[in-house]
Amino acid sequence: MTTVGLDFHITPNPAPAPEARRADILADPGFGKYFTDHMVSVTWTPQQGWHDASLRPYGPISMDPATAVIHYAQSIFEGLKAYRHDDGSIVTFRPEQNAARFQRSAKRLALPELPTQIFVDAIDLLVRTDAAWVPTRAEQSLYLRPFMFASEVFLGVKPASHVSFYVIASPAGAYFAKGLKPVSIWISEEYTRAALGGTGAAKCAGNYAASLVAQQEAIENGCDQVVFLDAVERKWVEELGGMNLYFVHADGRIETPTLTGSILEGVTRDSILTLAADLGHEVVENRIAIDDWRAGVSSGEIVEVFACGTAAVVTPVGKLAWRGGELAMGDGEPGPVTSKIRNALLAIQHGHAEDKHGWLHKVV
C-alpha cells in the first residue's frame, strides 16, 4: 500500500453554526443527529487515482438518480471518535486500525483501497478544522464517520470507476437513549446476518440494511437489539449487527466469539482483548453456542454479558429473549467486570490513564 499524502483544497464555511447554537448542541448531542461545519471529500478514478481532495462546508451531496450506489449498495463506512483531553489536546483512538479495516472492506466490495495516510490525514484535517465541536464533558466525543461509495453514473452491474470518499463528524453522547442501563437482546431465529464467503466481516452499508428487519422484530418483541446466529447451523453466537459481544464467566474468564469470517472485526472488541488481559482476566476467543449462553446464565456460570463497539463503547446486556422465552441477567445495573472494562477503556480514550499500548493518535 502506497502512503502518499494529498493536498486538500480548503473552502471554509462562510456561515458556521453560531457559538450559542453549538453550545446548545454540545450540552446534549445524543447520537448522530448534529453535524459539524465542514466535511472532507476525495475522489477516485482509475485514470487519476485519489485526487480532488477538499475540505468544504458540510452540506448535501447532489446525485444523479442513476448513481450506482443507490442501486447496488457498493458502499462502505467506518466509525471512530475524537476525544478532548483536560490539557486541551484532541486525540483519536487507533485510527490506523480503522484505516486497515476500511481497506479490507473496500477490497471485499470491489472498491479502491484508500491509503492509510490519506484516511488519517482527512480525519485529522476535519477534526482540526472543527475542533470547537469536540465536546468537553465526560463520556462525550466527536464521532467520525468516513465512508466511500460508487459515485459512477451507470446502471450496469460492475465495480464503479468513479468513487467518492467522505468524512463527516457528529458530536456524540450515549449511543443508547437510556444511557448505561443494560440493553435487552432478541435472538433472531429467522434471519441471519452473514454467511461464510459473504460480506459479514466488511463494514458495508448492505449488512446494516439487511439487519433492520431483524432489529424491527426485536423492537416488536420489546427488546433493544438483536443477536444474530451463524447462517449454517443457526447455533453459534455471532454479533449484534452493530456491536460485538463478550461473556464474563464466574471464574473471571472472559470470552468473545471467534472471528470466523462472518463477524465484524471490531476495533473496540480487539482493544478489550488486550485490556481485559491487562486487568488480569484470562481472555479467550471461542465459538459460543446460543444454548450455552442460556444454560450458562441459568447455572450462574456466565455472570455478565456486554456488547461493545465504537458508538456504544461497552454496554451491559440485561436480558436475552426469544420466541417463547426470556432470561434475565444481572440486577438492572452494569455488572462489576463490565463497568471495570468500560471505565478502563474510557480512561485511556479520555486521557485519564496511561496509554501504554500507544493507541492514541494526537490530532491537536
Piece of 9-17, 92-100, 309-317, 338-346 that binds ligand COI (CB under 6 A):
309-317
Contact between 244 and ligand COI per CB under 6 A? no
Kindly tell me which residue out of 237, 311, 344, 348 binds ligand COI, with binding defined by CB under 6 A.
Answer: 311
Q: Which is nearer to ligand COI, 303 or 314 (CB)?
A: 314
Of 4, 35, 2, 33, the residue nearest 17 (C-alpha) = 35
Contact between 271 and ligand COI per CB under 6 A? no
Q: Which is nearer to ligand COI, 55 or 264 (CB)?
A: 264
Of 86, 89, 81, 90, the residue nearest 352 (C-alpha) = 86
Three-state SS for 306?
A: strand
Contact between 310 and ligand COI per CB under 6 A? yes
Q: Which is nearer to ligand COI, 305 or 311 (CB)?
A: 311
Site string for ligand COI, 31-70 (x = CB under 6 A): ----------------------------------------
Q: C-alpha grid cell for residue 120?
A: 488519517
All residues at 6 or more sequence positions from 35 whose CB lies less than 8 Å from its CB, including other chains: 58, 168, 169, 170
How far apart, in whole angstroms, are the C-alpha atoms of residue 200 and residue 239? 10
CB 258 within 8 A of CB 286: yes
All residues at 6 or more sequence positions from 111 whose CB lies less than 8 Å from its CB, including other chains: 74, 76, 105, 148, 150, 159, 160, 163
Three-state SS for 206?
A: helix
Contact between 215 and ligand COI per CB under 6 A? no
Contact between 263 and ligand COI per CB under 6 A? no
Piece of 228-236, 273-281, 306-314, 317-325 that binds ligand COI (CB under 6 A):
306-314
Provide the minimum distance between the beta carbon of 81 and ligand COI in the complex, in angstroms, as a whole number.
8
Contact between 309 and ligand COI per CB under 6 A? yes
Kindly tell me which residue out of 29, 173, 242, 296 binds ligand COI, with binding defined by CB under 6 A.
Answer: 242
DSSP states along 128-196: HHTGGGS--STT-EEEEEEEEEE--B--S-S--SSEEEEEEEEEES-SSTTTTSPEEEEE-SS--S--T
Contact between 79 and ligand COI per CB under 6 A? yes
Question: Can you give the binding site for ligand COI, defined by CB under 6 A?
Answer: 79, 242, 309-311
